[in-house]
């Protein structure tokens, strides 16, 4: 009977140790999760926000440039319609030559 009692105590000790280890690991995971969230909000999020702002500014600048170039082209076509027609015909001819090959 003493062996049975000792076996039960050993099982209880092992179970207690396993539960303690599990609790410790869960606490460490929670602490790490908290640190990662803190790093994300303190360091990563501001960098991502700055990059998004830069991308938005670049897109806005590119759109403005495209509008400006389109306006210039439109003015050039209105000022020199024959030259514009000749350029378009030449571009079409070159495109046809390139697609034949």
CB atoms within 10 A of CB 84: 15
**Parent domain of 87:** 2-100
| Contact status, residue 84 vs residue 76, Cβ threshold 8 Å | yes
pLDDT at 51: 94
| Residues of the chain below pLDDT 70 | 1-4, 101
pLDDT at 78: 94
pLDDT at 45: 86
pLDDT at 1: 45
pLDDT at 40: 84
Give the list of residues 6+ apart from residue 84 with CB closer than 8 angstroms, or none: 76, 77
- Is this model's pTM higher than 0.75 or not? no
What is the number of structural domains in the chain? 1
């Amino acid at each position: 009977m003493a062996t049975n009692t000792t076996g039960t105590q050993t099982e209880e000790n092992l179970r207690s140790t396993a539960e303690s280890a599990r609790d410790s690991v869960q606490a460490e995971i929670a602490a790490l999760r908290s640190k990662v969230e803190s790093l994300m909000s303190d360091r990563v999020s501001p960098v991502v926000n700055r990059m998004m702002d830069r991308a938005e500014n670049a897109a806005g600048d590119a759109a403005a440039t495209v509008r400006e170039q389109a306006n210039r082209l439109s003015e050039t076509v209105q000022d020199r319609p024959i030259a514009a027609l000749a350029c378009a015909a030449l571009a079409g001819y070159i495109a046809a030559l390139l697609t034949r090959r």
